[in-house]
């Protein structure tokens, strides 16, 4: 967003067996270093080693999960489960891999299914069938993995949470970027907090009015990894309009004298132990972010799960916190299949959001290069109409994010042989 520490989850939607161009594949055998800091994937790669399965492997919700431990991502090619946080790796893994593969072969000669599990709660998991784990490692700030799923293609995992997949990432990133830029009368400068994946910058750069995009992500290893292997965003990273800064977003905004037409929060979900929750607080919005907005400026942030059963985790609180800082706040949602939930975003400004569907459609045609796959004027307007349960929660929410009183999203992920 689904993204990175300061990144950070219709019409035109592709079938499950299609793969968006630009997600590069890596070799079948991936050496895993015993060092915790190893997060740079091998430079060489072999095209089409892992082929997309034609099986309909929809994610399955599995109850009675064990309590969350450290995130574990195993080498599926080797059949060995290793701790993402640096449990001991044995030398001579190639021999062990061959033995493990033989043990996992069925009588008919086929391998057992391999799965990535994301723990949603103590007693709830979502499972994704895997072709392979392409890469995993740990940077200074977060755990990183690139996996190849049967249903959603390549998927980027940060700190055990699904960030995006090649099949449906356009839903998340179109919903994050285009609403604020379309509602703004003439957006020329944009600041992206996080966004190391590059997809948010890619969508911003589709707007003809935009002259300068500053993308500030704290994790240079994640940015370099995504720049190298998510080739769908290669043009965005190479754009002369993009200014890439490796720094803490708060520190960068505080020292930057520039004001921006749109500021985007493409941040990781607030999780226990992560630094990201501080960029969802009232004090940050009020004293750091808002003063950096130009006249008629708009702020937008991803706001976590927004489903009937999940919207109270952080979505309603982020919405209410922004209501204490801005005069006009607009929440909207969309279903993201790979997240197995409805996702939420919140726009905020001191100027009202007054466009109708027809006006939005005209701006899409006039301002944006290429055709949007997901958003239209009518759908954008309809996405701000929330179901009764969520709407009532937003109206009655009292919690405000502070450094001492924050809400967090539960969860971790692991890949293993079923």
Burial 233-270 (b: 16+ CB within 10 A, else e): beebbebeebebbbebbbebbeeeeeebbbbbbbbbbb
Query: Tokens 């069938």 sit at which residue?
Result: 129
Asked if residues 263 and 289 have their Cβ atoms less than 8 Å apart, the reply is yes
Q: Note whether 59 and 167 are within 8 A (CB).
A: no
Q: Are 245 and 216 in contact, with CB atoms under 8 Å apart?
A: yes
Residue 8 contacts residue 267 (beta carbons within 8 Å) = yes
As to burial, measured by CB atoms within 10 angstroms (0-12 exposed, 13-18 middle, 19+ buried), residue 282 is middle
Residue tagged active-site, from 159, 217, 248, 266? 266
> In the chain, what is the straight-line distance between the N-terminal and C-terminal CA atoms, in Å?
27
Catalytic annotation present for 159: no
Q: Which run of H or E residues covers position 73?
A: strand 72-73
Calpha distance 203→126 (Å, rounded): 29
Instruction: Report d(CA 127, CA 114) in Å as an integer.
Output: 10
Across the strands, what pairs with 148? 132, 154
- Phi, then psi, of 389 in degrees rounded to 5: -60, -50
Strand 114-121 relative to strand 124-138, pairing: antiparallel
Residue in 334, 340, 418, 409 with CA at minimum distance from that of residue 61: 340
| Residue (of 345, 141, 300, 144) closest to 230 by Cα position | 144
Ramachandran region of residue 370, left (φ > 0), alpha (ψ -120 to 50) or beta? left
218 neighbors 249 (Cβ within 8 angstroms): yes
The secondary structure of 170-228 as a DSSP string is HHHHHHHHHHHHHHSSS--EEEEEE-TTSHHHHHHTTBTT--EEEEEES-HHHHHHHHH
Active-site residues, by number, are 266
């Amino acid at each position: 967003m689904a993204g990175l520490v300061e990144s950070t989850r219709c019409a035109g939607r592709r079938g499950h067996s299609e793969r968006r161009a630009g997600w590069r594949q890596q070799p079948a055998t991936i050496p895993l270093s015993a060092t915790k800091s190893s997060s740079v994937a091998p430079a060489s790669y072999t095209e089409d080693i892992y082929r997309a399965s034609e099986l309909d492997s929809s994610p399955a919700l599995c109850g009675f999960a064990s309590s969350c431990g450290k995130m574990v991502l195993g080498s599926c090619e080797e059949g060995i489960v290793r701790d993402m946080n640096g449990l001991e790796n044995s030398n001579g893994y190639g021999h062990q891999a061959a033995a493990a593969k033989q043990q996992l072969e069925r009588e008919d000669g086929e391998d057992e299914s391999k799965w990535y599990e994301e723990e949603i709660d103590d007693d709830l998991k979502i499972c994704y069938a895997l072709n392979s784990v392409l890469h995993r490692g740990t940077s200074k700030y977060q755990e990183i993995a690139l996996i190849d799923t049967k249903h959603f293609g390549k998927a980027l995992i940060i700190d055990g949470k699904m960030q995006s997949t090649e099949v449906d990432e356009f839903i998340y990133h179109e919903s994050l970027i285009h609403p604020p830029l379309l509602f703004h009368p003439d957006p020329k400068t944009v600041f992206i907090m996080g966004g190391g994946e590059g997809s948010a910058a890619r969508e911003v750069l589709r707007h003809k009015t935009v002259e300068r995009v500053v993308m500030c992500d704290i994790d240079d290893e994640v940015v370099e990894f995504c720049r190298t292997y998510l080739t769908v965003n290669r043009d965005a990273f190479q754009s002369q309009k993009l200014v890439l800064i490796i720094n803490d977003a708060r520190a960068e905004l505080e020292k930057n004298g520039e004001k921006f037409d749109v500021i985007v929060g493409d941040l990781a979900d607030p999780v226990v132990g992560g630094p990201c929750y501080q960029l969802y607080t009232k004090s940050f919005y009020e004293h750091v972010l808002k003063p950096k907005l130009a006249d008629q400026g708009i702020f937008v942030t991803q706001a976590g799960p927004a489903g009937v059963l999940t919207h109270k985790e952080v979505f309603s609180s982020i919405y209410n916190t922004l209501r204490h800082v801005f005069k006009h706040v607009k929440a909207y949602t969309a279903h993201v299949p790979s997240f197995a939930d409805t996702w939420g975003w919140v726009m905020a400004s001191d100027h009202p959001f007054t466009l109708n569907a027809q006006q939005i459609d005209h701006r899409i045609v006039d301002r944006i290069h290429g055709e949007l796959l997901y958003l239209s004027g009518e759908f954008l307007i309809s996405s701000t109409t929330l179901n009764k349960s969520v709407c009532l929660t937003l109206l009655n929410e009292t919690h405000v994010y502070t450094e001492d009183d924050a809400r967090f999203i539960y969860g971790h992920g692991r890949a293993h042989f079923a």
